[in-house]
């Protein structure tokens, strides 16, 4: 997802709020950064020798962008789509309709 697509889905205020919260987060430990670097650079196996691992800053930025993408994807779903994606047999709310009602409540939208 490009920055422009994220901005179009979430809006400038939401993106700014997310970036501010990321700035407020404590500095990640070296161990966490190494783990994120491994995940971001080798999700399916070893990295070819010719490709260097990202820097600490690049790894942190990639993690923040992944978070923005996930939030944008979630926000782009209708409450029904989100409820269907979230519901599973044995869900504590009991039904897709109950999950959908909770999503409406959290988004503060009137139910149809």
82 and 65 part of one domain: no
Distance between CA atoms of 5 and 20, rounded to whole angstroms?
19
Q: How confident is the model at residue 101 (pLDDT cuts 50, 70, 90)?
A: very high
Distance between CA atoms of 37 and 63, rounded to whole angstroms?
9
Give the total number of structural domains in the chain: 2
What tens digit of pLDDT does each residue of 41-93 get?
Answer: 766 766 567 778 889 999 999 999 999 998 888 888 899 999 999 898 999 99
33 and 82 part of one domain: no
Any idea what the Cα angle at residue 46 is, between residues 26 and 48, rounded to 5°? 105
Q: Is 38 helix (H, G, I), strand (E, B) or coil?
A: helix
7 and 61 part of one domain: yes
pLDDT over threshold 60, residue 111: no
66 and 103 part of one domain: no
Largest CA distance in the chain: 55
């Amino acid at each position: 997802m490009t920055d422009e697509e994220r901005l179009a889905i979430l809006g400038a205020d939401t993106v700014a709020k997310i970036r501010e919260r990321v700035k407020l987060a404590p500095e990640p430990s070296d161990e966490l950064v190494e783990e994120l670097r491994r995940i971001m650079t080798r999700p399916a196996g070893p990295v070819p020798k010719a490709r260097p691992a990202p820097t600490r800053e690049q790894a942190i930025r990639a993690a923040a962008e992944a978070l923005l993408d996930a939030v944008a994807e979630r926000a782009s779903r209708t409450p029904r789509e989100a409820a269907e994606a979230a519901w599973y047999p044995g869900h504590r709310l009991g039904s897709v309709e109950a999950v959908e009602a909770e999503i409406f409540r959290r988004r503060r939208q009137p139910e149809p």
